[in-house]
Structure formats: C-alpha cells, structure tokens
Amino acid sequence: MRIAVIVTTYNRPDALTAVLDGYRSQRDRDFELIAADDGSNEETRHVIEDCRRRGDLRLNHVWQEDRGFRAAAIRNRAVASTSADYIIFSDGDCIPRPEFVSQHRRIAERGWFVAGNRILLSEGFTEEVLTKSMPIHTWNLFHWFLAFLRKDINRWWPMVPLRFDSPLRKMTASVWRGVMTCNLSVWRDDLVRINGLDEEYVGWGLEDSDLVIRLIRSGVRHKTGRFAAPVLHLWHRDNDRVGFTRNQDRLDSLLRSDRVKALQGVSQYSATAADATGSMKQEE
C-alpha cells in the first residue's frame, strides 16, 4: 500500500526542521511526505527546499494563502495532491520516532481508521531540543524515562508497545472524543467518500472531531494506535481560540443531524478527487 504522510505547518521553521529530521530517519522509507502549509512565509519554504536538496525524502509542498487558521482546507488540498492509498495526518510540531510510519502501516486495516496519541514536551525542554538540534527521535525508552523523571515530558508509557493484534485495539470502535489529527491515519478512499475535512471550520478547534464523527457514521470504525506510534509534541503557546464558539456550534449542529459528507470539502479541488484517485496542482 502506498502511504502519504501529511504534515501541517505554519511559520515555525525550527520545529518543522526537527520534524523533517524525524521523517528522514524512518525505518519504513516507502512513503511520500507532504508539507501542508497554511500560509507560511519564505523561511518555511527554504527549510522545505533544503530538505528536498538532500534527496532522501519524497517531499512535496502544498501551500495556501494566509487567511487565518484553516487546517481543514490545507489538509484537503494535500489529500487532493496525492493518489496514495493510505493517509497519515500529523503536524509540523510533532516529531515522529523512527518506527512511526511502519507502525501505522502494520496497524492499518480496511474498514478502520487509526488514532494515535502524543507525548507533550515542556516549554524548557522544547527550547533545548530546537536550539541544540537534539535528535530526540532516536532516543530509547530509558532516555525517555529519565526525561519523565526530569519533568521534560508529561508521560513516557505510550512508548511501551502493545501487540498489534490485541483485542484492546478495537474496543474504541465508536469513540470519537479525544481523536486528534496530529496522529491519525485513514484510507484515502474512505476519506474522499465523506468529502474530507469540512472547511467551514475556520480558526482553531473541532474540525478533527467533525471528521471522525462522519467517518464513524459512514461505517469506518476507530482502531487505537496507542502504545504503538506516539508522536513527540513540541511545546507551543495556545492557539488563538477566537473562532472556537462558532466551531462548537457547527459541531453541535452535526451531532443533531445524520450528515456524513463535509459541506465544503476535498471534492472542490479536483474532479478526480471524488473517486479517490485524483491530484491537484500544488500551490507554491
């Protein structure tokens, strides 16, 4: 199966550099990486071009004009730019460990999406990691246990592996709360069938909940990727939540309905996106 990893980013080139280093160190190299750029400036473009020049990642750059927080829109544009069979969503401040892609590949199963989790780094530790270019994606469990004792991270146990075939993985089949697109994988045709993410969500929050609710309604169930593929989430200040109330109203409206398809989704970017095989012209 062909995998595309879609990483959102916005004007945080130092974090993106660390994230790209994590993907350059993946044990499973058979994937395409798409930087889904929500309107960053030239500094981010330079980071991406520098990484491309190294030639050890299949890296594409999909960009949209900066008109506020529009994560749903840039993810849809990225989905439309690839014909991969399977999509892994993450963020440009979430560093993957070397087995991240391979673990998602192993857990993937038709009829299910996979939701992983994250380990939060402290503010001080994040600054140290970025200023010193520390390769924390290569650390072993012992290093992370010491980091937990130093209070550099909020938890270390998500790195302890759980069997891929454990029945516990499917106990979350109808659970949508708590799923985040910083660590979520889904079959592309399942995603396109519900018209991707809903771009009516503008500003921070709840576009991922909307997506997961509609996936479950469409018959795609939730399989947990916890204790398999956590991401290392760099600290950042809270996002501006000025639009959160409107997004909550949108989610409440969805919950009162039986709607499955996004009102404004991925189909607008390519006629062939509707059949899960299309691509779009990248904006650069």
> In the predicted model, what is the mean pLDDT of residues 258-277?
75
pLDDT in tens, 63-97: 999 999 999 999 999 999 999 999 999 999 999 99
**Domain span at residue 83?**
3-275
pLDDT of residue 280: 35
Looking at the predicted structure, is the pLDDT value of residue 272 above 70?
no
DSSP code, position 1: -
CA distance 247 to 94: 24
Instruction: Report yes or no: 194 and 260 within 8 Å, Cβ to Cβ.
Output: yes
pLDDT of residue 279: 35
The answer to the question of residue 283 being in a domain is no
Output the pTM of the full model. Answer: 0.93
Looking at the predicted structure, is the pLDDT value of residue 252 above 80?
yes
The answer to the question of residue 281 being in a domain is no
Hey, is 113 helix, strand or coil?
strand
Q: Which residue has the tokens 């790195």?
A: 159
The answer to the question of residue 212 being in a domain is yes
What the block records as the tokens of 20 is: 């790209």
The answer to the question of residue 24 being in a domain is yes
What integer best gives the mean pLDDT of the chain?
A: 92
Q: How many domains does the chain have?
A: 1
Looking at the predicted structure, is the pLDDT value of residue 274 above 60?
no
Selected residue with higher pLDDT from 112 and 160: 112
pLDDT in tens, 191-238: 999 999 999 999 888 999 999 999 999 999 999 999 999 999 999 987
Is 273 exposed, middle or buried, given 0-12, 13-18 or 19+ CB atoms closer than 10 A? Answer: buried
Which domain CATH number covers 77? Answer: 3.90.550.10
> In the predicted model, what is the mean pLDDT of residues 141-164?
94
The answer to the question of residue 282 being in a domain is no
For strand 118-120 and strand 231-233, is the pairing parallel, antiparallel, or unpaired?
Answer: parallel
pLDDT in tens, 120-134: 999 999 999 999 999
Selected residue with higher pLDDT from 180 and 205: 180
DSSP code, position 153: B
Give residue 281's pLDDT band: very low, low, confident or very high (50, 70, 90). Answer: very low
Hey, is 63 helix, strand or coil?
strand
> In the predicted model, what is the mean pLDDT of residues 181-190?
97
Contacts of 114 (CB under 8 A, 6+ apart): 104, 107, 108, 184, 185, 186, 223, 224, 225
pLDDT of residue 162: 86
Looking at the predicted structure, is the pLDDT value of residue 184 above 60?
yes
Give residue 275's pLDDT band: very low, low, confident or very high (50, 70, 90). Answer: very low
> In the predicted model, what is the mean pLDDT of residues 139-149?
96
pLDDT of residue 283: 41
The answer to the question of residue 284 being in a domain is no
11-to-2, 41, 68, 194 alpha-carbon distances in Å: 29, 6, 12, 30
The answer to the question of residue 280 being in a domain is no
